[in-house]
Amino acid sequence: MERPGRLLLQSELRVRNAAYDVSLSRSLLIWKRRTSSPVYHPFRPSVCHSVPVSEIISVREEEEENGSRQRDDGSWKKIREREGKDCRQAFTVLYVERCRQHRWRCAEVTFTCSDEAVCQHWVSSIREQLASNTSRPKHLLVYINPYGGKRQGKRIYEQKVAPLFTQAGISTSVIVTEYANHARDHLKMEAELKKFDGVVCVGGDGMFSEIIHGLIWRTQIDCGVDPNSPEEALSPCSLRIGIIPAGSTDCICFASVGTNDPVTSALHIIVGDSQPLDVCSVHHNMMFLRYSVSLLGYGFYGDVLSDSERKRWMGPARYDFSGLKMFLTHHYYEGTVSYLPAKGIIGTPRDATRCRSGCVICQHNGQLNSERSEKYEMDEASDSESSGEWRTIRGKFLAINAASMSCACPRSPKGLSPAAHLADGTTDLILVRKCSRFNFLRHLLRHTSKDDQFDLTFIEVHRVRRFRFMPRHCQSDSDLELDLHENSKRQIFSQICKDHPACGCAPAYSSWNCDGEILTHTGIDVRVHGQLIKLFARGIEELPVFEDLSNPCAI
């Protein structure tokens, strides 16, 4: 619980014609209603409010008195009253107010002062405290995807987000993307990043992927790091990234904020929150493929994405259709998985602990990974050389998933790996071995329930720092490119056959689903780069058992 420090200012002000004792410290703004009677009334709670200074959006002087908005009948008495009042004797504070389901909204309170000098003193003092917060952005580069999700990105930004940025005094440079990877290419080559304090994307997870690919690639080139080398330790990005959700899934927002509300995300940007995030680099041989921050899926989730891409005309319903189709076809794939287990860390994939704001596991493991990286650079030894630590699993798999976060969303409230962390330098490698359709259905239904996701005999999960996969049917082919199953484009349902892959009804290989994009190779090398980027977020906040405990006035 945050306690007020040394008082900077204290006055008796009025809120809606009621007297309040108002105080300002470096950490809190508190206003407490004055009681007319000194006698304690147990059934009459005292009206007291407190707001952290860090969560004040802005303060403004009132341009007109509240009474002038009421109906004016032109009487001489009202004209004299209006002339006798100074409109600059009131000021309004806009601040963050928490609502249900991790949502934030912009609330405001207007204080009336006894004279103009007191009002000016309060306004200047609050603005001085806000200006001293160096974590708040002042200039933002904004990319809007007008086509993502329900094509509401531009409207959401203009109606819900831009007014808040204006009130907070944030200047923006807005670019509406015109084609796929427009934002990525602009960040790579053209954007003058030194002018900005952060980059904001308005769209879904696909738009966010564009931003991180452009920003990470640009950072590595500026720092002289070769992105095509899987052995290179990538340099962290200095600019924070904000996400205004306007897509169909918004998985990153759910994991880092707890909701996909645009106003909530905009307020996290305004107050200057910072949440580190791990990023996985995906390579094929010595060639860079993509970055991943949420899910890498081979088998079931790769097949669902590949099939749904051919049915975009169906809209969001294509995912349900393709999911049902892939469940019925029940394809399994043979291959070899090698992984480097995360040693010396705290936390396991089957913990009851969840990644929340101020996560201790992320802080501890993040520091551990940072120390290992320094030792790695000094010794010039790569993970591939320490072959004794690598472990290998061969078999037939229905799905191979790597979850770098919980991947929670409305359809899967707990996600694919509920105990995965945002910034601990690891990913949870989930192997679903060949099993019956009934057992696989049990596994899928676990994503929507509170049962242990991994308490099934055909599932194993490992917390890893790096892993590699090579499908059986192309282990000797180092340059295999997927054709996205072009030969099955015209089929509505493939023939169901689980025992005869050579007959043609079951493909020899699947494709990798990398954060909603299909990779062009199946043999991949994945490495986790701890806390490579930072978001304008603070993680999911734990809801207090008693709301009053967060209020120092209630004690």
**DSSP of 1-65:** -PPP-SEEEEEEEEETTEEEEEEEESSEEEEEEPPS--S--TTS---EEEEEGGGEEEEEE-SS-
The last residue of one of the domains, among 233, 250, 273, is 273
Distance CA 494, CA 490 (A): 10
Q: Tally DSSP H helices, then E strands, for the chain.
A: 12, 21
Note whether 180 and 127 are same-domain residues: no
Note whether 334 and 414 are same-domain residues: yes
pLDDT in tens, 402-430: 999 999 877 788 889 999 999 999 999 99
Note whether 340 and 421 are same-domain residues: yes
Reading the block at residue 84, the tokens are 């006798």
Reading the block at residue 233, the tokens are 């330790």
| Residue 378 domain-assigned (yes or no) | no
Reading the block at residue 9, the tokens are 């200012």
User: Bridge-partner residues for 33, per DSSP?
Assistant: 20
Note whether 229 and 326 are same-domain residues: no
- Among candidate residues 527, 528, 508, the one with its CA nearest the CA of residue 299: 508
Note whether 183 and 113 are same-domain residues: no
CB 234 within 8 A of CB 532: yes
Reading the block at residue 51, the tokens are 């707001």
- Looking at residue 84, its pLDDT comes to 45
Note whether 124 and 206 are same-domain residues: no
Helices (H), 132-258: 153-156, 162-167, 182-185, 205-223, 251-256
Beta strands in 333-453 (DSSP E): 333-341, 391-403, 427-433
Reading the block at residue 323, the tokens are 């999911």
| Phi, psi (deg, nearest 5) at residue 51 | -135, 130
| Residue 209 domain-assigned (yes or no) | yes
Give the range of the structural domain holding residue 152, as residue numbers without chain letter: 137-273
CATH number at residue 404: 2.60.200.40
Note whether 427 and 293 are same-domain residues: yes
CB 252 within 8 A of CB 205: yes
| Residue 533 domain-assigned (yes or no) | yes
| Residue 268 domain-assigned (yes or no) | yes
What is the end-to-end Cα distance of the chain in Å, rounded? Answer: 11
Note whether 216 and 107 are same-domain residues: no
In a 10 Å sphere around its CB, with 0-12 CB exposed, 13-18 middle and 19+ buried, how is residue 307 labelled? buried
- Looking at residue 410, its pLDDT comes to 75
For residue 541, give Cα distances in angstroms to 251, 393, 538.
17, 38, 8
CB 404 within 8 A of CB 427: yes
Chain-centroid distance of CA 491 in Å reads 37
- Among candidate residues 411, 415, 383, the one with its CA nearest the CA of residue 294: 415
**DSSP of 445-490:** HHTTSSS-TT-STTEEEEEEEEEEEEEGGGTT-TT----TTGGGTT
The last residue of one of the domains, among 236, 254, 273, is 273
Note whether 232 and 257 are same-domain residues: yes
Q: Which of 197, 205, 250, 525 is catalytic?
A: 205
pLDDT in tens, 282-303: 999 989 999 999 999 999 999 9
pLDDT in tens, 369-398: 877 766 655 554 444 445 558 999 999 999
Tally of structural domains, the chain: 3
Under DSSP, is residue 143 helix (H, G, I), strand (E, B) or coil?
A: strand
- Among candidate residues 8, 13, 9, 28, the one with its CA nearest the CA of residue 552: 28
| Residue 318 domain-assigned (yes or no) | yes
pLDDT tens for each residue of the chain, 555 residues long = 455 568 999 999 999 989 999 999 999 999 999 876 555 555 555 589 999 999 999 999 986 454 444 444 554 444 444 444 445 589 999 999 999 999 999 999 999 998 899 999 999 999 999 999 999 999 999 999 998 777 899 999 999 999 999 999 999 999 999 999 999 999 999 999 999 999 999 998 889 999 999 999 999 999 999 999 999 999 999 999 999 998 777 889 999 999 999 999 999 999 999 999 999 999 999 899 999 999 999 999 999 999 998 888 887 788 889 999 999 999 999 999 999 999 889 999 998 889 999 999 999 998 888 777 666 555 544 444 455 589 999 999 999 999 999 998 777 888 899 999 999 999 999 999 999 999 999 999 988 877 788 999 999 999 999 999 999 865 444 444 444 444 444 444 444 444 444 444 567 889 999 999 999 899 999 999 999 999 999 999 987 643 444 444 443
Distance CA 242, CA 196 (A): 13
CATH number at residue 113: 2.30.29.30
CATH number at residue 145: 3.40.50.10330
Note whether 11 and 57 are same-domain residues: yes
| Residue 492 domain-assigned (yes or no) | no
Task: Tell me, yes or no, if 72 is annotated catalytic.
Answer: no
Distance CA 546, CA 332 (A): 49
Note whether 124 and 151 are same-domain residues: no
The last residue of one of the domains, among 107, 133, 159, is 133
Note whether 358 and 429 are same-domain residues: yes
| Residue 481 domain-assigned (yes or no) | no
| Residue 551 domain-assigned (yes or no) | no
Under DSSP, is residue 163 helix (H, G, I), strand (E, B) or coil?
A: helix
